């Protein structure tokens, strides 16, 4: 069992022992013991974790070990049968025992009127969701705007379209849902990367009405302090880019979403719908 010693005040030379019993990893119980121990000065406390307790036999073994060294018990068991056995046996052994999760769960149940799941390890699952989201955001940044085209091979979704069709905001929105999204710009003078055709089933194209794009690009040039006559906001140029993008999307065979007057959330809902349908098709 993992052991850790912490400073704590004591009138005797004997080091007090705290056993942390858990049906998960035991980090919550250990963190609480450390927080409590920080309120004392000098001396030592010996923390011993007994994690992943799944059976009554395992709980009994941990209590026996604790009894042999006169330890106090701190526990975060959520399985009711194991918890009841622990409390009953600890009383029989005369062991001091403190339930960390129980009182808080009871309070939450009282205010929410919802029964707890009593499933060990859920906090780690939440952490995994958080880290998955962070990883997806880092992915979207790394493979934004066609940077490192090989990245599209690792993407969950690949977004393609011409400039100012909201490719980057869409990818960032998807990343916050834990989806790794890369985007590839389509420019008539530059051949799209061959990787784009290799992942055709993951690709979603974005298009937009030319009049709307014309206004967006004019506003963009104004913001940047550039000439309004720049090719970027040229009507013929916009029509040519849209035709070129449409031809590439037809070649890929990907679904296309018109982003005209759509919020990013609306576009994302459409893209996710295509993504899920594609995932089912390939199961």
**Token pair in block for residue 237:** 């140029």
Nearest to 245 by CA among 165, 180, 150, 125: 165
Nearest-CA neighbor of 98 among 16, 21, 38, 25?
21
User: Strand 72-75 and strand 45-50: pairing?
Assistant: unpaired
Q: Is 42 left (phi over 0), alpha (psi -120 to 50) or beta?
A: left
Contact 232, 220 (CB under 8 A): yes
Angle (deg, nearest 10), helices 167-175 and 264-281: 70
Question: Would you call 280 exposed, middle or buried from its count of C-beta atoms within 10 A (0-12, 13-18, 19+)?
Answer: exposed
Instruction: Map residue 206 onto helix, strand or coil.
Output: strand
Strand order in the sheet with 256-258: 181-185, 157-161, 203-207, 256-258
Q: Which residues are annotated binding-site positions?
A: 161-168
| Tokens, residue 145 | 């705007």
192 within 8 A of 169, measured Cβ to Cβ: no
What is the Cα 186 distance to its own chain's centre? 30
Binding-site residue numbers for ADP are 161-168
């Amino acid at each position: 069992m993992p052991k850790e010693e912490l400073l704590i005040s004591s009138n005797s030379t004997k080091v007090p022992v705290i056993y942390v019993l858990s049906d998960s990893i035991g980090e919550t119980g250990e963190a609480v013991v450390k927080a409590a121990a920080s309120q004392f000065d000098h001396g030592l406390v010996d923390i011993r974790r007994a994690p992943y307790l799944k059976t009554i036999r395992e709980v009994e073994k941990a209590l026996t070990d604790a009894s042999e060294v006169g330890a106090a018990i701190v526990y975060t068991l959520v399985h009711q049968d194991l918890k009841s056995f622990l409390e009953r046996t600890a009383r029989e052994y005369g062991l001091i025992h403190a339930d960390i999760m129980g009182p808080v769960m009871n309070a939450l149940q009282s205010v929410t009127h919802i029964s707890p799941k009593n499933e060990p390890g859920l906090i780690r699952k939440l952490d995994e969701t958080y880290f998955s989201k962070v990883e997806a955001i880092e992915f979207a940044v790394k493979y934004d705007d066609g940077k490192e085209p090989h990245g599209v091979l690792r993407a969950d979704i690949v977004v393609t379209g011409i400039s100012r069709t909201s490719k980057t905001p869409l990818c960032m929105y998807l990343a916050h849902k834990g989806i790794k999204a890369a985007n590839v710009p389509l420019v008539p003078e530059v051949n799209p990367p061959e990787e784009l055709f290799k992942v055709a089933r993951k690709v979603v194209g974005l298009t937009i009405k030319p009049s709307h794009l014309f206004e967006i690009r004019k506003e963009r040039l104004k913001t940047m302090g550039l000439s309004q006559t720049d090719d970027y906001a040229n009507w013929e140029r916009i029509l040519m880019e849209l035709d070129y993008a449409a031809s590439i999307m037809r070649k890929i065979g990907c679904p296309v979403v018109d982003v005209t007057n759509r919020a990013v959330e609306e576009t994302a809902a459409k893209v996710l719908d295509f993504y899920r349908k594609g995932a089912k098709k390939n199961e």
